């Protein structure tokens, strides 16, 4: 929701949300009900998306390790807290480097 709100504030006209949560992807693409505690905020985000070119897709966390590391960093913030960086935070640099040289991540079952 923060990404959608931030995109609206920045007047971005295109947004692609990639998530490893099928529940989030389904809520964004199929209008599945969301928990009541975030319902109003969610509906506001959906209204913002109507004015954007919007795409939402699912990927396993191995498919986007940068996003996975950022999400893990944000666990426990709660629904209404977030972080924003103008450049990559230090803890993410090793993952960015690995991506930049094309090293794969494997999904272990």
Higher pLDDT, 31 or 95: 95
As a whole number of angstroms, the distance between CA 94 and CA 53 comes to 32
Cβ(20)–Cβ(59) under 8 Å?
A: yes
> What is the pLDDT at residue 59?
82
Write out pLDDT tens, residues 45-90.
999 999 999 999 888 777 778 777 877 877 766 656 677 788 888 9
Give the chain's end-to-end CA distance (angstroms, integer): 30
Q: Would you list the domain boundaries of the chain?
A: 1-58, 62-109
Convert the pLDDT of each residue in 4-54 to its tens digit: 999 999 999 999 988 888 888 998 888 788 888 889 999 999 999 999 999
- What is the pLDDT, as a whole number, of residue 80? 61
Query: How many CB atoms are located within 10 Å of the residue 83 CB?
Result: 10
């Amino acid at each position: 929701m923060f990404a959608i709100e931030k995109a609206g504030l920045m007047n971005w006209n295109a947004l692609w949300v990639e998530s490893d949560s099928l529940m989030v992807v389904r809520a964004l693409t199929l209008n599945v009900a969301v928990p009541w505690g975030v319902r109003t905020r969610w509906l506001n985000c959906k209204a913002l998306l109507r004015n954007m070119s919007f795409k939402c897709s699912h990927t396993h966390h191995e498919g986007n390790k940068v996003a996975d590391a950022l999400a893990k960093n944000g666990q426990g913030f709660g629904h209404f807290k977030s972080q924003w960086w103008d450049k990559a935070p230090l803890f993410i640099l090793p993952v960015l480097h690995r991506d930049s040289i094309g090293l794969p991540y494997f999904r272990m079952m």
